[in-house]
Amino acid sequence: MLHSMKPAPRVRQASLKDLSVLVRHRRAMWEVLGDFPSRRLDRLDRIYRTWLRERVSAGVAAAFIADASTGNPVASGVVVLVRLDPSPRDPAHLNGVTPNIISMFTDGPFRRRGIATRIIRRCVTWSRRRGYRRVTLDADPDVAALYRKAGFSRTWWMSKALRS
C-alpha cells in the first residue's frame, strides 16, 4: 500500500510538558494489548505519570514522541535506566544498570511506516551516548518482529505471578 506524500512524522525528545501525551499513549498501548478494566487503567495512569516525571527529572529516563505534520503526537516510546544485579556473564551489566525501552505506542493509522523504528533508534542513541553497551525491552509476540528487525534478539527472561 502506498502512503500519501505527507512529510514523515518528526521524532523529538519529549519534555515534562508532554507527560499527558505519554500517559495517554501508554494507556492506549495497554488497551491494544488486553482487556483491562478502566478503573485499573485509571489508577495506572496516575501512578505512571508520577513515576515517569520522577525518572525524567532525575535524568534516568528519556521519552521520544513522533509528531505528525499537523503537530499531533502519533507515537511515543520511553527508555529508562533500570537496576539489575551485576553479572559476570554479561560485561554490559557489570555496573548493575541497563537501559530498558518501555511504553512503545503508535496510533493505528500511522503503524507500519517506520515511526516506531525511528523512536527505537533515538532510545538506543540516548543509551549509547551515556556509555551503555546493551539495551533491553519486553516485546509482545505480535510486535517482536519489529524489534528483531531493529537488531534485538530474544533472551530468556521468565516470570512468575505471586499471589498475596
* Cβ–Cβ < 8 Å for 75, 146: no
CATH class of the domain comprising 10-149: alpha beta
Give the CA distances from residue 84 to residues 133, 140, 163, in Å, rounded to whole numbers and listed in that order.
Answer: 14, 21, 23
> Cα–chain-centroid distance for residue 139?
10
Q: State the average pLDDT over residues 6-31.
A: 95
pLDDT score, position 4: 54
Nearest to 26 by CA among 12, 11, 46: 46
> Which pLDDT band, with edges at 50, 70 and 90, does 79 fall under?
very high
DSSP SS3 for 88: coil
Tell me the residue length of the chain. Answer: 164
pLDDT above 90 covers what percent of the chain?
66
> Which pLDDT band, with edges at 50, 70 and 90, does 85 fall under?
confident
pLDDT score, position 162: 74
Which residue in the block uniquely carries the three cell numbers 482487556?
35
pLDDT tens digits, 136-162 = 998 888 888 889 899 998 877 766 777
Q: State the average pLDDT over residues 93-118.
A: 90
CA dist., res. 37 & res. 61, Å (int): 28
Q: What is the mean pLDDT of the chain?
A: 90
CA dist., res. 106 & res. 12, Å (int): 14
Helix (H) or strand (E) holding 127, with range, is helix 115-129
All cell numbers assigned to 35: 482487556
User: Dihedrals φ, ψ of 81, to 5°?
Assistant: -80, 130
pLDDT at 2 over 70: no
Q: State the average pLDDT over residues 121-132.
A: 94
pLDDT tens digits, 107-123 = 999 999 999 999 999 99
Q: What is the pTM of this model?
A: 0.89
* Residue boundaries of the structural domains of the chain: 10-149
Q: How many CB atoms lie within 10 A of CB 164?
A: 2
